[in-house]
Structure 1
């Protein structure tokens, strides 16, 4: 299974540097100089990182062979992926790879089905995106107080939501 760890955004400057929408909790490791990145579409890569730097909270990459703004623009919206089999196992029982959480059925502590985890966002605070039937998505901060239980074997993630978190109509 391929996992998206980033998406190339717009060019930055005129020398071929690209912005990256980070979708991994280990960007400094995943996008380190020398790292080879598999792409989707495959025809865009593989890409090798020459330089990585943060600028105003945005990851900027210089990629081997990408010279000039036009070459960088041609990579826009290219997904950067890794094979889930290549990820090392996590030893901490309270830590999970994103792909382990996506697809889990979300239930409340009372057992009421809420929806399904459709994505995990990493924006300082990790957020679980919960797709709900016939309703807007819900965003649940991925913290122990709100997510007290995860059972990968049963495919269930329990949410202890305060009033209003899962009720889009609440004011």
Structure 2
């Protein structure tokens, strides 16, 4: 499995018991979605290695307490610390309406209600407090906050996102 074909689930942050149980800090608003995982890919070196889940349960809101097959003691659990977990993109539930996953909108065209065609989404910057569309406008980068109030419509069929940004926002990047 290639990392490009997967999405990040979380990171192993601590041991829970001497029997190999681990705590995973999940990267989600809905941790209960990950309770039924049968297996997961764990990044070891540059490879994604499959591990089977014996059992899991939520632990203190955003932590998932997991027992993997073949991780049965503290030394084995120690070897898993700080490793990242991934699942295939096909495991994501389909979204409809104006909701979207960041990976699925790469290549979409942004059209602003007042400005017109802004450009093509090349990425999403989610390292800031406000996630941003990264848009290529003929070689110039335009950043638009991903904000429900700005998004009018997500047209998956035509790969277009229609927005209504505040006056002057796009011109900041293109003047």
TM-score by structure 1 length? 0.63
Q: Structure 1 pair 119/26, CA: closer, same or farther in 2 (3 Å)?
A: farther
Gaps of 5+ in 1: 122-126
Render the CA deviation track for 1:27-61: whole Å, top value 9, x for unaligned: 312x1155322344322x22316223142x53233
**Residue in structure 2 matched with residue 68 of structure 1 by the alignment:** 74
- Which stretches in structure 2 are left out of the alignment for 5+ residues? none
| SS of corresponding position for 1:10 | strand
Q: 2:165 aligns with which of 161, 166, 170?
A: 161
Q: CA deviation at 1:94?
A: 4.0
2:53 corresponding residue in structure 1: 48
Q: Secondary structure at the match of 1:100?
A: helix
Shift of the alpha carbon at 1:12? 5.1
Map 1:1-20 → 2, pairs under 5 A? 2-11=5-14, 15=18, 16-20=21-25
Q: Does residue 82 in structure 1 map to residue 88 in structure 2?
A: yes
Hey, what's the Cα distance between the residues in 2 that align with 1:62 and 1:3?
A: 20
Measured after TM superposition, the shift of residue 161 of structure 1 is 1.9
Which structure's CA Rg is the greater one?
A: 2
**Counterpart Cα distance in 1 of 2:23 and 2:53:** 13
Does the 8 A contact of 2:8 with 2:84 survive in 1? no
Q: 1:167 to 1:32 in 2, by over 3 A?
A: farther
SS of aligned partner of 1:161: coil
Paired residues, what number? 157
| 2:108 paired with 1:104 | yes
CA distance in 2 between counterparts of 1:81 and 1:17 reads 17
Contact 2:8 2:27 in 1 (8 A): yes
Question: Is residue 39–residue 47 contact of structure 1 (8 Å, CA) maintained in 2?
Answer: no
